[in-house]
Chain A
């Protein structure tokens, strides 16, 4: 009954989405006031998808093996949290989650959109409904999560053990929330292009959504990077895997959009430009979903190889993105001119920021899709990996990091003061860092050396916008910006430290043997068998010491029974100045064990930087929302006082 309730809720919601879209056409054509009806429909639709998703969680929690999806992806012996998380650890469930978030976001747009005009709100809600309709069709016709099996099997096939990890419970939902937040920006852009009302009011209505989506994408990417780091046991934090790129591309576009939308909100300039970026940002989310969900990639995330679904998703992508681009081409020339600005101005700075981010996005996009394209056309197989991305995107990212320090110092509209004077102290920081890297290690490669230099410079420069005024009275958004830019510097320093100072040791050891890595000497004390709820494992006991005192680490090599797989669980110990990272491999012929050890100084700064960037974004969002709520209220109070 539970599964049928979910399916019925989905069908109902799909019907409401169709109605919502028809109402938009009616409203825009005849000018009838449909906004109220649309609002209620959008809210009910959101509630219905939530019900469907709750039903899916229930069949997974109860291990109802008569549901095909549960049988294929779950097992009654699994820990409870992974049973529930398993609901979105598969194709159908994750698509339902995506759709639920889309519909709930639509409901919130309906509840909160008071800032844009009636026509634009109507058009935006209609666009959101049309978006959702495609995904309803995809779920109901090509990937029904509630399909039943008859007769019901005894037990399920289980979940990929790599995905049985706390990271799984939060990583996909975070990214999906980010992707779907961008869908709201897309719908607003489409709505505004339809009505021609692209102005700072629209930008202010879009901004919290873009900011929220961007924060979640930042968190999702940071968490995904750490997950790959400890779960795969390869010691790397970013592999330029197509699935990673699928989340990076929307982030790059959202970062550009986030900056240009501020220009539109503050100055009413860059109108067409911002609309274009809103369309591109969501297109990248769709491309990301297509890459991950269609199963065309060589990756852990490609759950099923199913050409029908891939084609369906590709068709959806082509229709939505194509239609949005055509709408843009038709309507953008008719937009009013934006406010003028001079060559040296904050606006120009943000245009440069957007251009560099777009070029990085372009090269990542080409590098990710080129192999697929070549294979489709010529049948030849090739792969594009880290060497390509490091070579083309690395220098651009460093250049951008240099400019990040300058941009916020420049005034809006036109700048007559000598801005470079203020950069003396940051420049001094950079030069000092450069000198230290030369003294410490004269043979360091060029990219880490530049990373340290730019990181030190930017760490100082990011706080200059606060130094020019009373920091306590500065708006929260300015604090957020400073913190996010400082986060870039921190992450840069972490990447440089990891590249320059990591030491690695790969060897075999018998119990009692001692290996050294960096400042550590690590003794293999013992190797013992151990077991968990649905796995057995070989666990090594490592005693590591540097100078005084010893710590114990226990890396494992696990064997899961359903489905039969092996994973290695690395053991990592974090110190203020780095991480000791240990992995146990296989037993060689003579009874010794393979051990892989890393000492990674300051590697944690990479994720700390990512977290700082997200916190900066959250501060800015808080500041914007605070104004949204606080200012109208204060104004009213002030008026009451005046007229009392």
Chain B
């Protein structure tokens, strides 16, 4: 191959790779991205049953119930406008507790959120960005209690 053609071929290959990456990513995102909802969104009917999603809120005080099998829990996530019941089978993360923030991954089934995974905040100073505002409100409430 002549050097000139070689350079052209290489540029063409790079462009094809770029397009391939973008198309592949778009295809993947369309089918696999999951959206973040709050309990208010669920009440408003924004989410559909069976769609992979994340649900974020505060764990309502007094709502955690253990089922007889010992490894399934039910609790309620709230954003102070609405509540969504959640069921989760597994070991809840260490920082998962009533009155603090959590994000559940899973899907909605007949109004109940079935979680595959629960993410709780890892650190006192750290909040999931999605919950930033909620956390601030919560903090002021706490200070007022004192």
Contacts and interface: CB of A to CB of B under 8 A. Distances in A.
B13 to A, nearest CB: 6
Contact of B122 (A162, A342, A362): A162
Interface string B9-34: 01001101110111011011101111
Given A160-B122, A508-B70, A566-B95, A382 B28 contact: no
Contacts of B124: 563-565
A552 interface: no
A557 B94 contact: yes
Interface string B98-136: 000001010000000000000100111111111010000
A383 B33 contact: yes
B116 to A, nearest CB: 11
Contacts of A366: 21-22, 25, 29
B10 A273 contact: yes
Contact of A298 (B34, B66, B130): B130
A449 B109 CA distance: 33
B89 A506 contact: yes
B91 A382 contact: no
A359 B36 contact: no
Contacts of A557: 94
A583 B7 contact: no
Contacts of A382: 33-36
A392 B122 contact: no
B142 interface: no
Given A366-B22, A391-B32, A567 B69 contact: no
B94 A565 contact: yes
A594 B90 CA distance: 9
Contacts of B146: none
A305 B123 CA distance: 12
* B interface majority secondary structure: mixed
Contact of A380 (B1, B35, B69): B35
A450 to B, nearest CB: 18
Interface stretch (A140-148, A202-210, A333-341, A606-614): A333-341
Contacts of A370: 25, 29, 33
A173 B105 CA distance: 32
B51 to A, nearest CB: 11
B105 to A, nearest CB: 8
A589 B66 contact: yes
A342 B6 CA distance: 9
Contact of A566 (B20, B32, B94, B132): B94
A304 B95 CA distance: 18
A440 interface: no
Contacts of A341: 1, 6
A362 B70 CA distance: 44
B33 to A, nearest CB: 5
Contacts of B1: 340-343
B33 A359 contact: no
A565 B123 contact: yes
A106 to B, nearest CB: 31
Given A337-B4, A358-B21, A366-B21, A507 B70 contact: yes
A22 interface: no
A11 interface: no
A303 to B, nearest CB: 7
Contacts of B71: 506-508, 585, 588, 594
Given A363-B21, A366-B29, A384-B32, A304 B125 contact: yes
Contacts of B16: 355
A506 B91 contact: yes
A374 B101 CA distance: 23
A272 to B, nearest CB: 8
B42 interface: no
Interface in A365-389: 366-367, 370-371, 380-385, 387-388
A363 B18 CA distance: 10
Interface string A344-372: 00000001000100110111001100110
Contacts of B129: 296-298, 305
A35 interface: no
Contact of B29 (A270, A388, A590): A388
B47 interface: no
A298 B125 CA distance: 13
A590 B71 CA distance: 12
Contacts of A567: 94
A213 B7 CA distance: 29
Nearest to A509: B70
A302 interface: yes
A300 interface: yes
A391 B28 CA distance: 7
Contacts of B10: 270, 273, 351
B68 to A, nearest CB: 9
Contact of B25 (A270, A303, A363, A380): A363
A634 interface: no
A384 B126 CA distance: 21
B13 A351 contact: yes
A300 B21 contact: no
A507 B127 CA distance: 30
A586 interface: yes
Complex A-B, nearest 10 residue pairs according to Cβ-Cβ distance, in ascending order: A362-B21, A508-B70, A381-B36, A585-B91, A388-B32, A566-B94, A366-B25, A337-B3, A392-B28, A588-B70
10 contacts: A162-B122, A297-B129, A305-B132, A337-B4, A362-B18, A383-B54, A506-B71, A563-B123, A594-B70, A596-B90
Given A371-B33, A585-B91, 15 more contacts: A296-B129, A340-B6, A351-B10, A355-B17, A358-B14, A362-B24, A366-B21, A367-B28, A382-B36, A392-B25, A392-B27, A507-B70, A583-B91, A586-B91, A594-B71
Interface of B: 1-4, 6-7, 10, 13-14, 16-18, 20-22, 24-25, 27-29, 31-36, 52, 54, 66, 69-71, 89-92, 94-95, 103, 105, 119, 122-130, 132
